[in-house]
Structure 1
Amino acid sequence: MKADKSLMSGSATLLVLSLLSGEDMYGYQMIAQLEARSDHTFAMKEGTLYPILHALEKDGAVDSYEKSAPTGRTRKYYHITKKGLRLLGEKKEEWTTFSQAVNAVLAGSAPALA
């Protein structure tokens, strides 16, 4: 089952940074890895990925460089920076807090508001 696009939009930056924390990747590779690692739950389009990468690059969270592939084609690779790793840590904390709160509500164990 594919996730609702609105659910993914709030976590897209976290997912991209998480992928790049393991290795440098080019765009299509990130799209394929995201889909494979999520058992086809997440299918990110290029039109979603590249604006995220460009914003992260502008903010200094990722760098890019070009490298020739074995086929001779030049690809643009993205590399997470120290700033990007700090941002990833913050995004993970946000996600943990958010998902715990959602799970608490779904389980019926959230504290009642006064």
Structure 2
Amino acid sequence: MDTQLMKGMLEGCILTLISHKETYGYELLLELEKYGFENVGEGTFYPILTRLSKKGYLSCRQVKSEAGPYRKYYKITDEGLVHLREFKHSYYKITGIVEKILEDKE
């Protein structure tokens, strides 16, 4: 799969999962794997979280972990919810158009 396309889709998926509940990075990565994103490396995943945080779509807090170092917990912001709605609108519009083209049998 094209990496730029996947990164764009991952952003929407990550925002969606975080909109359901506050979570930390590794837990979120496992959730993505459960849905089928099995080859998402940390080198792709964590920069997306950082970028979403820098854009103001996620807030982050650090919590001491019983198992070791601090964990960063992510929560979607109001701005992130707006961006997620816009992402979903664009996604469904584009995929609808692509499906029509791909299914056209001349």
Name the TM-score, length of structure 2 as normaliser. Answer: 0.86
The 5-angstrom pairing of residues 35-114 of structure 1 reads 35-36=33-34, 38=35, 40-71=36-67, 73-108=69-104
CA–CA distance in structure 2, aligned partners of residues 102 and 77 of structure 1: 36
Q: CA deviation at 1:28?
A: 1.0
Aligned residues with identical type, % of pairs: 34
Question: Structure 2: any 5+ residue segments left out of the alignment?
Answer: none
Pick aligned residue for 2:28 from 19, 27, 30: 30
CA–CA distance in structure 2, aligned partners of residues 5 and 35 of structure 1: 18
Q: CA RMSD in A?
A: 1.9
More helix by share: 2
Question: Structure 1: any 5+ residue segments left out of the alignment?
Answer: 110-114
Which structure carries more relative contact order (alpha carbon 8 Å, separation 6+)?
Answer: 2
- The 1:58–1:31 alpha-carbon spacing in structure 2 relative to 1, beyond 3 Å, is same
Name the TM-score, length of structure 1 as normaliser. Answer: 0.81
Count of residue pairs the alignment pairs up: 105
